[in-house]
């Protein structure tokens, strides 16, 4: 047993944190929220040059062949800095290709994802099918010689900036079921695609994407026809865990900054951090975040080892979805009025927590999953 | 990062599991398995003693001790495995004090003579201890205690009163903190004594818990004479002798494991019991709460492993241990109360009735578990420790 970070992970954390410190002041997040592109292309290229996009892509496809836990560390640091970019959506797509793509598809796409030359995004959730793939209604009709895709997806991150979209669509006969689903890779500028911005609480770039008889050729199918459910579930597990890594980073920001503030802010002649109630809020934060972190790492380890992780992924997502909302709520309270202002950074994390809680798996959906595993 | 155990550790865990699975079958019927509550009923106490004897014979009470004191120098991880398996099977048999709290103090501060006198007996489960620390006016602020010990030739004469003394009515020995220098700052005026309970001058009075169980006591010292050679460490060094005990395995894994077992019982109950024609567990309000407890306990388990692991690397873990302690003890109070609620009226019927749910385990536990959030440092004290020691916030 070794519950410490590897040397690679320790170094990576330092590097990412330094990068953020040098290039990405917290105010940048607010600027990017108001920016149409929603990310900094210059920093995106630099991040790619540092190897982050390709970190977990196999070396033979231009990546670094690193571990999932390394990506966890990268996402923690990005979450801590509130680094807005298509990073998570792109690497999830790289996993889909690595796991389900043909040699041609992998050789065509992975190297350019690794270089940061292209952005991809997963189009999976639909109004009415937030998390459960059995509810997906977007349909791909045709045969393996060619399909047309029709339906509506939403919460497709950075769809307007993506060169390609990975779409989960129904190809089987049932109108609702977990099987009968397929994964397609389509160009985002294909005919029949409309990308409509969604203004959400996080003001990250989410999109509604409408497909109206969008053609998808033979080579667009990723993995087996109507056998996409296994791949999509596996992607969902990784998505949940990695989203939690991002939340964990944000939680560390809250912990650190609230503790510092509590030591500095003086009222009634003493630091507010000398009052028991503030001390206990912070102690609760410390205990809860520390414990959630260990469960996250355990789930990431299981995923890395290819061990079944459906239960742990759901547990982690529930824990962080509820926890991060609670921790950011406490954070606002400790900062007091200033924490509610747009100018202060606390709001960045509070708002993101509410959206992250519902991304890839809500607390209620996750609890249902966990309940199904109870003995 | 690697969460797997070595082959030796897996095989050791299996050995523990085989033993404790067998011992579990011998638990008195209806006893809920609250391994901190073994002092009340005679049949439960007898069960505890019989297991203790076996553990003593197997050398399992001194796993992490140095070999020269009869231990096996096992790491914190092996001790954690022992605690986890024992907790999961809800088997008593480990004196609350001897192996993990008195022994470290003896090993660090005791003379060779003292170590030879007590350690082998502790390892063989031949001593039942009680802890003479807490007083009516000195609970959280233990160091303020006022029981006195006055030198008289080769002895000290102890006068005062202890309270919440777990198992004093079953114990044959007591380890006492008493004040030997009233003028010194409070932490520097205490001495650590060991006495036999049968010594003249000790009176034990039951202090019944709200559920009428007899676990706790008041202990009165009326000119109790203790020989100098029963002092551990130096005179006025007692506080530091006492806190050495905090270097034992502090992950609380045994309690997490026992709670996990309790949750399994509750899940089974909710699946098998119907209300208005359908299983209680079909109600999402119930199944979601059960899921939340499962999540809490799994996070706690991972935390416990981490605490034991960093201890094995030589790190002191005050904040980490505090986090483990207060989270699990609070979880159990909530779990027990939720269990009672989800069982409906049957949930509050005491063990012994054909209508009691799960032998009245949770009716008892929703009360007994209150001990856990107060004893051993209240939840609030644990949070203070985290605030002061892990976060550097100012002590007032």
- Give the tokens for residue B248: 């034992």
**Other CB atoms within 10 A of residue B26 CB:** 10
DSSP bridge partners of B205:
B218
Q: Is B63 helix (H, G, I), strand (E, B) or coil?
A: coil
Q: Cα separation of A262 and A272, whole Å?
A: 5
**Other CB atoms within 10 A of residue B280 CB:** 21
Q: Is B322 helix (H, G, I), strand (E, B) or coil?
A: helix
**Looking at residue B70, what is its pLDDT?**
85
Closest CA to A49 of A8, A70, A17, A19: A19
Torsion of CA B164, B169, B173, B176, to 10 degrees: 20
Helix spans in B313-356 (H): 318-342
Quick check: B133 and B190 in contact, CB under 8 A?
Answer: no
In a domain, A366, yes or no: yes
Out of A3, A280, A298, closest to residue B383 by CB:
A280
- Give the tokens for residue B329: 């003890």
CATH number of the structural domain spanning residue A289: 1.20.140.10
Burial group, residue A27, by CB count within 10 angstroms (0-12, 13-18, 19+): exposed
Is A274 in contact with B396 (Cβ distance < 8 A)? yes
- A271 chain-B contacts, CB cut-off 8 A: 394
Q: Does B30 touch chain A (CB under 8 A)?
A: no
- B4 chain-A contacts, CB cut-off 8 A: 1
The residue segments making up the domain with residue A57 are 7-118
Closest CA to A207 of A161, A164, A268: A161
- A283 chain-B contacts, CB cut-off 8 A: 382-384, 386-387, 390-391
**Looking at residue A175, what is its pLDDT?**
74
Same domain, A66 and A136: no
A253-295 tens-digit pLDDT: 999 999 999 999 999 999 999 999 999 999 999 999 999 999 9
**What is the DSSP pairing of strand B216-227 with strand B231-232?**
unpaired
Q: Does B303 touch chain A (CB under 8 A)?
A: yes
Helix spans in chain A (H): 7-23, 26-34, 41-49, 68-81, 87-100, 103-114, 229-264, 276-304, 310-335, 346-356, 363-372
Find the distance separating the first CA and the last CA of chain B, reported in whole Å.
39
In a domain, A2, yes or no: no
In a domain, A134, yes or no: yes
Out of A1, A276, A312, closest to residue B309 by CB:
A1
Chain B, residues 99-138, CB within 8 A of chain A, namely none
Residue B386 distance to chain A (closest CA, Å): 6
**Looking at residue A174, what is its pLDDT?**
79
- B292 chain-A contacts, CB cut-off 8 A: 318, 367
Same domain, A204 and A318: no
**Which of A258, A296, A374 has the highest number of chain B CBs within 10 A, making it the mutation to test binding with B?**
A374
**Other CB atoms within 10 A of residue A210 CB:** 17
Q: ∠A308-A313-A316 over CA atoms, to 5°?
A: 145
Which of the four pLDDT bands, split at 50, 70 and 90, describes residue A128?
Answer: confident
Q: Which residue has the tokens 């992970």?
A: A9
Is B303 in contact with A367 (Cβ distance < 8 A)? no
In a domain, A1, yes or no: no
Distance of CA B393 to the CA centre of its chain: 29
What is the dotted CATH code of the domain comprising B129-244?
2.40.110.10
Same domain, A172 and A297: no
**Considering the entire predicted model, what is its pTM?**
0.95
Residue A3 distance to chain B (closest CA, Å): 5
Last residue of a domain, one of A197, A224, A251: A224
Q: Cα separation of A120 and A138, whole Å?
A: 19
Same domain, A113 and A131: no
Mean pLDDT of A176-203: 93
The class (CATH top level) of B7-94 is mainly alpha
Q: Cα separation of A81 and A17, whole Å?
A: 8
Is B291 in contact with A291 (Cβ distance < 8 A)? no
Quick check: B272 and B342 in contact, CB under 8 A?
Answer: no
Across A87-101, A123-137, A157-171, B176-190, least confident range: A123-137
Burial group, residue B273, by CB count within 10 angstroms (0-12, 13-18, 19+): middle
- The string over A313-323, giving b where at least 16 C-beta atoms fall within 10 Å of a residue's C-beta and e elsewhere, is bbbbbbbbbbb
Burial group, residue B1, by CB count within 10 angstroms (0-12, 13-18, 19+): middle
Same domain, A290 and A178: no
Closest CA to A255 of A288, A213, A277, A221: A288
Same domain, A254 and A363: yes
**Other CB atoms within 10 A of residue B54 CB:** 14
**Looking at residue B255, what is its pLDDT?**
94
Q: Does B282 touch chain A (CB under 8 A)?
A: no
Can you give the C-alpha Rg of chain B in angstroms? 22
In a domain, A332, yes or no: yes
Q: Does B392 touch chain A (CB under 8 A)?
A: yes
Helix spans in B273-374 (H): 284-312, 318-342, 361-368
**Looking at residue A218, what is its pLDDT?**
84
- A262 chain-B contacts, CB cut-off 8 A: 393
Q: Does B378 touch chain A (CB under 8 A)?
A: no
Closest CA to A187 of A157, A210, A162, A151: A162
Q: Does B285 touch chain A (CB under 8 A)?
A: no
- B309 chain-A contacts, CB cut-off 8 A: 1, 3
Same domain, A234 and A360: yes
CATH number of the structural domain spanning residue A138: 2.40.110.10
Same domain, A237 and A215: no
Read off the DSSP letter of residue A132.
-
The answer to whether the Cα torsion of B368, B338, B290, B382 is positive or negative is: negative
Is A318 in contact with B310 (Cβ distance < 8 A)? no
Last residue of a domain, one of A190, A224, A258: A224
Q: Is B186 helix (H, G, I), strand (E, B) or coil?
A: helix
**Which of B5, B279, B299, B320 has the highest number of chain A CBs within 10 A, making it the mutation to test binding with A?**
B299
Is B288 in contact with A292 (Cβ distance < 8 A)? no
The 3 state secondary structure assigned to A181-228 is: EEEEEEECCCCCEEEEEECCCCCCCEEEEEEEEEEEEHHHEECCCCCC
Mean pLDDT of A164-175: 91
**Looking at residue B31, what is its pLDDT?**
84
**Which of B79, B291, B310, B331 has the highest number of chain A CBs within 10 A, making it the mutation to test binding with A?**
B291
Out of B281, B288, B383, closest to residue A279 by CB:
B383
DSSP bridge partners of A11:
none
Same domain, A139 and A179: yes
What is the number of CB-based contacts under 8 A between chain A and chain B?
Answer: 138
Distance of CA A241 to the CA centre of its chain: 8
Measure Cα distances from A78 to A19, A23, A86 in Å.
Answer: 10, 12, 11
Chain B, residues 327-346, CB within 8 A of chain A, namely 327
Q: ∠A76-A82-A83 over CA atoms, to 5°?
A: 85
Q: Which stretches in chain B have pLDDT values below 70? A: 246-247
DSSP bridge partners of B196:
B173
DSSP string, B124-184: TT---EEEE--BTTBSSSGGG---EEEEETTEEEEEEEEES-TTTTT-SEEEEEEES-SSS
Out of B5, B300, B383, closest to residue A284 by CB:
B383
Is B1 in contact with A292 (Cβ distance < 8 A)? no
What are the domain boundaries of chain B? 7-94, 129-244, 250-390
How many domains, in total, are found in chain A? 3
Mean pLDDT of A82-101: 97
**Looking at residue A10, what is its pLDDT?**
98
Residues in chain A: 375
Which of the four pLDDT bands, split at 50, 70 and 90, describes residue A236?
Answer: very high
Q: Which residue has the tokens 């796409």?
A: A109
Q: Does B379 touch chain A (CB under 8 A)?
A: no
Q: Which residues neighbour A174 within 8 Å (Cβ) at sequence distance 6 or greater?
A: A180
Helices B284-312, A363-372: inter-axial angle, 10-degree rounding: 80
Last residue of a domain, one of A118, A133, A160: A118
Q: Which residues neighbour A223 within 8 Å (Cβ) at sequence distance 6 or greater?
A: A99, A100, A101, A182, A183, A231
Measure Cα distances from A151 to A167, A200, A221, A315, B159 in Å.
Answer: 10, 21, 17, 31, 83
- Give the tokens for residue B387: 């605030």
A18-37 tens-digit pLDDT: 999 999 998 999 999 999 99
Find the distance separating the first CA and the last CA of chain A, reported in whole Å.
27
Same domain, A19 and A79: yes
Q: Cα separation of A282 and A48, whole Å?
A: 36
Q: Is the pLDDT of residue A65 over 90?
A: yes
Is A279 in contact with B299 (Cβ distance < 8 A)? no
Same domain, A112 and A182: no
Same domain, A217 and A310: no
Q: Which residue has the tokens 């509810």?
A: A135
Q: Is the pLDDT of residue A144 over 70?
A: no
- A290 chain-B contacts, CB cut-off 8 A: 303, 320, 323
Q: Does B4 touch chain A (CB under 8 A)?
A: yes
Is A283 in contact with B290 (Cβ distance < 8 A)? no
Quick check: A374 and B298 in contact, CB under 8 A?
Answer: no
What is the dotted CATH code of the domain comprising B250-390?
1.20.140.10
Is A3 in contact with B3 (Cβ distance < 8 A)? yes
Is B384 in contact with A279 (Cβ distance < 8 A)? yes
**Which of B252, B313, B393, B394 has the highest number of chain A CBs within 10 A, making it the mutation to test binding with A?**
B393
Quick check: B204 and B168 in contact, CB under 8 A?
Answer: yes
């Amino acid at each position: 047993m070794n519950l410490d970070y590897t040397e690679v992970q320790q170094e990576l954390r330092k590097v990412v944190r330094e990068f953020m410190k040098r290039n990405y002041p917290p105010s940048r997040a607010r600027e990017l929220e108001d920016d149409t592109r929603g990310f900094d292309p210059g920093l995106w290229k630099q991040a790619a040059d540092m190897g982050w996009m390709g970190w977990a892509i196999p070396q033979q496809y231009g990546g670094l062949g690193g571990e999932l836990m390394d990506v966890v560390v990268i996402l923690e640091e990005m979450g801590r800095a509130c680094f807005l970019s298509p990073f998570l959506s792109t690497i999830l797509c790289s996993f889909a290709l690595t796991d389900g793509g043909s040699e041609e598809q992998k050789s065509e796409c992975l190297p350019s994802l690794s270089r940061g030359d292209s952005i991809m995004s997963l189009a999976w959730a639909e109004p009415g099918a937030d998390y459960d793939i059995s509810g997906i209604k977007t349909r791909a009709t045709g045969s393996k010689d060619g399909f047309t895709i029709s339906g509506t997806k939403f919460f497709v991150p950075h769809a307007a900036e993506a060169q390609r979209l990975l779409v989960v669509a129904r190809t089987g006969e049932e109108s609702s079921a977990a099987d009968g689903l397929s994964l397609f890779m389509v160009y985002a500028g294909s005919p029949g695609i409309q990308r409509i911005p969604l203004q959400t609480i996080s003001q990250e770039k989410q999109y509604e994407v409408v497909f109206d008889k969008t053609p998808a050729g033979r080579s667009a199918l990723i993995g087996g026809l109507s056998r996409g459910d296994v791949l999509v579930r596996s992607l969902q597990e990784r998505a949940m865990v990695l989203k939690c890594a991002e939340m964990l980073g944000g939680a560390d920001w809250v912990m650190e900054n609230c503790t510092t503030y509590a030591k500095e802010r003086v009222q009634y002649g003493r630091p507010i951090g000398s009052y028991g109630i503030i001390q206990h809020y912070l102690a609760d934060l410390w205990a809860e975040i520390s414990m959630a972190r260990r469960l996250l790492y355990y789930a990431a380890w299981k995923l890395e080892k290819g061990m079944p992780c459906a239960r742990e992924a759901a547990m982690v997502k529930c824990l962080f979805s509820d926890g991060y909302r609670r921790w950011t709520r406490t954070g606002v309270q400790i900062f007091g009025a200033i924490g509610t202002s747009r100018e202060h950074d606390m709001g960045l994390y509070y708002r993101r927590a509410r959206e992250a809680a519902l991304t890839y798996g809500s607390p209620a959906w996750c609890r249902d999953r966990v309940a199904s595993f109870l003995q | 990062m690697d969460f797997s155990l070595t082959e030796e550790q897996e095989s050791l865990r299996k050995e523990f599991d085989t033993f404790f699975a067998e011992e579990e079958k011998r638990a008195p019927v209806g006893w809920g398995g609250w391994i901190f509550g073994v002092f009340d009923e005679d049949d439960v106490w007898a069960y505890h003693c019989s297991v203790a004897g076996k553990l003593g014979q197997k050398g399992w009470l001194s796993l992490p001790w140095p070999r020269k004191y009869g231990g096996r120098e096992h790491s914190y991880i092996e001790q954690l495995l022992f605690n986890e398996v024992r907790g999961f099977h809800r088997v008593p048999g480990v004196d609350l004090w001897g192996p993990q709290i008195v022994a470290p103090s003896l090993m660090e501060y005791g003379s060779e003579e003292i170590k030879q006198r007590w350690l082998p007996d502790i390892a063989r489960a031949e001593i039942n201890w009680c802890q003479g620390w807490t007083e009516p006016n000195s609970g959280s602020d233990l160091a303020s205690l006022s029981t006195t010990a006055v030198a008289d030739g080769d002895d000290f004469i102890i006068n005062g009163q202890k309270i919440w003394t777990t198992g004093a009515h079953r114990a044959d020995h007591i380890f006492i903190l008493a004040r030997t220098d009233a003028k010194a700052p409070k932490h520097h005026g205490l001495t650590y004594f060991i006495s036999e309970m049968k010594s003249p001058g000790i009176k034990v009075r039951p202090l019944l818990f709200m559920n009428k169980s007899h676990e706790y006591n008041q202990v009165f010292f009326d000119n109790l004479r203790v020989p100098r050679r029963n002092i551990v460490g130096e005179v006025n060094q007692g506080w530091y002798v006492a806190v050495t005990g905090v270097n034992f395995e502090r992950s609380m894994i045994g309690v997490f494991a026992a709670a996990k077992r309790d949750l399994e019982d509750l899940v089974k109950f909710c699946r098998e019991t119907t209300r208005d024609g359908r299983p209680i567990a079909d109600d999402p309000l119930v199944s979601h709460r059960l899921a939340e407890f499962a999540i809490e306990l799994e996070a706690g388990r991972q935390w416990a492993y981490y605490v034991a692991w960093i201890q094995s690397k030589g790190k002191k873990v005050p904040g980490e241990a505090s986090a483990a302690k207060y989270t699990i003890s609070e979880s159990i109070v909530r779990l027990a109360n939720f269990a009672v609620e989800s069982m409906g009226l049957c949930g509050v019927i005491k063990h012994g009735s054909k209508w009691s749910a799960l032998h009245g385990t949770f009716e008892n536990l929703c009360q007994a578990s209150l001990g856990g959030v107060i004893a051993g440092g209240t939840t609030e004290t644990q949070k203070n420790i985290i605030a002061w020691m892990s976060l550097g916030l100012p002590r007032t």
